[in-house]
Amino acid sequence: MAGLGTGAFMLPGLAMGRPVSPEALLMPGDDVAMKKRLADAALNAAKSKGASYADVRIGRYLNQYVTTREDKVENIVNTESYGVGVRVIANGCWGFAAVVDAKSEAQLAKAAEEAVAIAKANSKLMKEPVQLAPQKGFGEVSWKAPFKKNAFEVPIREKADLLLSVNDAAMKNGANYVNSILFQVNEQKYFASTDGSYIDQDIHRIWPLFNVTAIDPKSGKFETRRSLSAPMGMGYDYLQSNPADKITGITTRYNKGYDMLEDATAASIQAKEKLTAKSVEAGKYDLILDPSHLWLTIHESVGHPLELDRVLGYEANFAGTSFATLDKWQSKNFQYGSKQVNLIADKTQVGSLGAVGWDDEGVNTKQWDLVKDGVLVNYQAIRDQAHIIGAEESHGCCYADSWSSVQFQRMPNVSLAAGKTPLSVEEMIKDVKKGIYIIGDGSFSIDQQRYNFQFGGQLYYEIKDGKIAGMLKDVAYQSNTQEFWNSCVQVCDERDYRLGGSFFDGKGQPMQSSAVSHGSSTARFNGVNVINTARKI
């Protein structure tokens, strides 16, 4: 599920950590030598109690959220969470224990011993012992997100002023209400395992977003338009846009730099325009989907069904299973999409939410094909799943949302490869007789095996005989995953390639949240069923 990834203006009900002063977010974490000592204490204790494998994650998780509405700063939240999670295999079974604020070797050793005791107890209920794909150790290594400006170093006043100026621009251009938020996250993670890895990583994420509302006083109708920003694995530099980051057209969209002020201005004008836009006539249309919209369709209809734990039934009671069963993959000819469709999993893409050097079980990250020339070729698997698909190594997509959560298989960035033939959005639209151009993500829903879905957007434009004929409203499209991806006839070239993503993708019980990006260029899907969502109450 994309969870709260698409602009719900609620903070997630997740334990983010304790409130701290903003200055505390700039304090350095423990030094690497100390973390190594602590980690070794846990690893040695686990081994001495009989663990055949152990890993330790020492995590410091920092969050800062600034929320505003109109001319008011509503809330500034600064949180810090620090602790250690120890995972072991003993008697062939996983065991896990976590300890808050662990600063001594004795605390770490005790947690390791608890983890071994839990593994031994659970092994009595186990059906098959864990098979862990081999992984070489990397020694002492580190990875840092490649940002230019650390968002946590920017004074809160400057961030609040930015949001208030965004709100002001929205109100001056006709919005009745505006809410804006700036989310910033820093994960400082130290991983060590009995394979001989000691990995120190510094991960940064940022997400500026807003929602404007325009009301027609005569009818009492209201319309909204959300920001076209993407959550990114970047620093504050994402908010320093330059002309090269802008994709101009019917409305401006953004690549690696976001002009929030400009987007808020456009959003207010467009929210008002939506009030009088034509209500869509239900029927079949060719859809031109912008990357700011298509990311969510990729996430739900490709990212989730190709998670191997879902395919195997481990998520059956919550998120569900998958239509993309092992027999379809084994057939080597399951046509997931048309020949134009190449879907790539990736944990390395610069600026993406999923990018890290190593995953949360010490596997170096990589890129791999999921769907090649339309055919299903692979899944997303971690160390204890690799053998199930005959792989000799993990894909490196294991993640835990906190030191206190058990790491498990999470979605890497999953993206649609840009088309190889030069093609612009304008050229693509020119050939469409009856179509709808959709920008921005909106309502989203998909069944528990990922067949049937329905998506809305932020902006809908009618295409008639190769030209944009005006704005539409009340649009949602419904399709079936395989049918939809097989109706993909064109993908624009790499000049149009951009990332979208989810900051709060939910999975597991108890639920864990993760952040993931999805890239694409604008793509065309022929003959998709569009419904009209207008109702009267």
Partner 1 sequence: MAILSKEQAKKIIDKVLAFSKADEISASLSGSRTGNIRYARNSVSTSGETNDLSLSVTAVFGKKSGTATINEFDDASLEKTVRRAEEIAKLAPDNPEYVSMLGAQQYVDTHAFADTTAGIDPEYRAKAAFGSIEPCSKKNLTAAGYMEDTSGFTALGNNKGLFGYNKSTSVGFSVTVRTADGTGSGFVQRDYNDSSKLNSQTATEIAMQKALASVNAKALEPGKYTVILEPTAAHDLIINMIRSMDGRSADEGRSFLGKKGGQTRLGEKLLDERVTIYSDPANTEIPGSPFAFDGRPQEKVAWFEKGVVKNMYYSRFWAEKKGVKAIPPPGGIIFQGGNESLADLIKGTEKGILVTRFWYIRAVDPQTLLYTGLTRDGTFYIENGQIKYPVKNFRFNESPVIMLNNVEAIGKAVRTAGSLIPPLKIRDFTFTSLSDAV
Residues numbered 80-99 forming contacts with partner 1, rule: CB under 8 A: 94, 96, 98
In terms of phi and psi (left: phi > 0; alpha: psi -120 to 50; beta: otherwise), the region of 50 is left
Residue number, 335 or 452, with CB nearest to partner 1:
452
Is residue 478 part of the contact set for partner 1 (CB under 8 A)? yes
How many residues belong to the chain? 537
CB of 346 to partner 1, least distance (A): 26
CA-wise closest residue to 211 among 157, 270, 256, 258? 270
CA-wise closest residue to 406 among 114, 137, 55? 55
Q: Which residues contact 466 (CB under 8 A, 6 or more apart)?
A: 429, 430, 431, 432, 433
Is residue 273 part of the contact set for partner 1 (CB under 8 A)? no
Spatial separation of the C-alpha atoms in residues 231 and 500, rounded to whole Å: 7
CA atoms within 13 A on the CB side of 456: 17
Tell me the window of 201-209, 374-382, 411-419, 529-537 that interacts with partner 1 (CB under 8 A).
Answer: 529-537
Is residue 206 part of the contact set for partner 1 (CB under 8 A)? no
Is residue 177 part of the contact set for partner 1 (CB under 8 A)? yes
Residue of 249, 480, 489, 527 interacting with partner 1 (CB under 8 A)? 480
Residue type, 355: A
CB of 310 to partner 1, least distance (A): 10
For the segment 216-235, give every residue that binds partner 1 (CB under 8 A).
Answer: 217-222, 224
CB of 452 to partner 1, least distance (A): 4
Strands 375-376 and 367-372: antiparallel
Is residue 165 part of the contact set for partner 1 (CB under 8 A)? no
- Structure tokens, 52: 């055949």
Residue of 125, 139, 248, 392 interacting with partner 1 (CB under 8 A)? 125
Binding mask 436-465 for partner 1 (x = CB under 8 A): -------xxxxxxxxxx-x-x---------
Residue number, 140 or 447, with CB nearest to partner 1:
447
- Structure tokens, 315: 């998520």
For the segment 22-51, give every residue that binds partner 1 (CB under 8 A).
Answer: 22
- Number of residues in contact with partner 1 under rule CB under 8 A: 71
CB of 444 to partner 1, least distance (A): 6
Spatial separation of the C-alpha atoms in residues 136 and 195, rounded to whole Å: 6
Is residue 387 part of the contact set for partner 1 (CB under 8 A)? no
Cβ 362 vs Cβ 199: under 8 Å = yes
Question: Hey, is 103 helix, strand or coil?
Answer: coil
Tell me the window of 134-142, 362-370, 372-380, 470-478 that interacts with partner 1 (CB under 8 A).
Answer: 470-478
Q: Any idea what DSSP says for residue 307?
A: B
Cβ 518 vs Cβ 413: under 8 Å = yes
Cβ 417 vs Cβ 490: under 8 Å = no
Strands 467-473 and 278-279: parallel
- Structure tokens, 363: 């596997």
Tell me the window of 25-33, 41-49, 194-202, 527-535 that interacts with partner 1 (CB under 8 A).
Answer: 527-535
Is residue 155 part of the contact set for partner 1 (CB under 8 A)? no
Spatial separation of the C-alpha atoms in residues 417 and 26, rounded to whole Å: 38
CA atoms within 13 A on the CB side of 212: 32
Is residue 150 part of the contact set for partner 1 (CB under 8 A)? no
Is residue 129 part of the contact set for partner 1 (CB under 8 A)? no
- Structure tokens, 407: 């790491």
Is residue 72 part of the contact set for partner 1 (CB under 8 A)? yes
CB of 387 to partner 1, least distance (A): 16
Is residue 18 part of the contact set for partner 1 (CB under 8 A)? yes
CB of 221 to partner 1, least distance (A): 7
CA dihedral (20, 25, 26, 30) positive or negative: positive
Cβ 193 vs Cβ 51: under 8 Å = no
Tell me the window of 31-39, 215-223, 371-379, 464-472 that interacts with partner 1 (CB under 8 A).
Answer: 215-223
Is residue 100 part of the contact set for partner 1 (CB under 8 A)? yes
Residue of 318, 367, 493, 527 interacting with partner 1 (CB under 8 A)? 318
CB of 483 to partner 1, least distance (A): 10
Residue number, 26 or 350, with CB nearest to partner 1:
26
CA-wise closest residue to 204 among 403, 23, 351? 351
Residue of 155, 248, 392, 537 interacting with partner 1 (CB under 8 A)? 537
Residue 341: φ, ψ to 5°: -95, 110
CB of 138 to partner 1, least distance (A): 27
For the segment 489-518, give every residue that binds partner 1 (CB under 8 A).
Answer: 509-510
N-terminal to C-terminal alpha carbon distance within the chain = 29
For the segment 321-340, give every residue that binds partner 1 (CB under 8 A).
Answer: 321, 323, 325
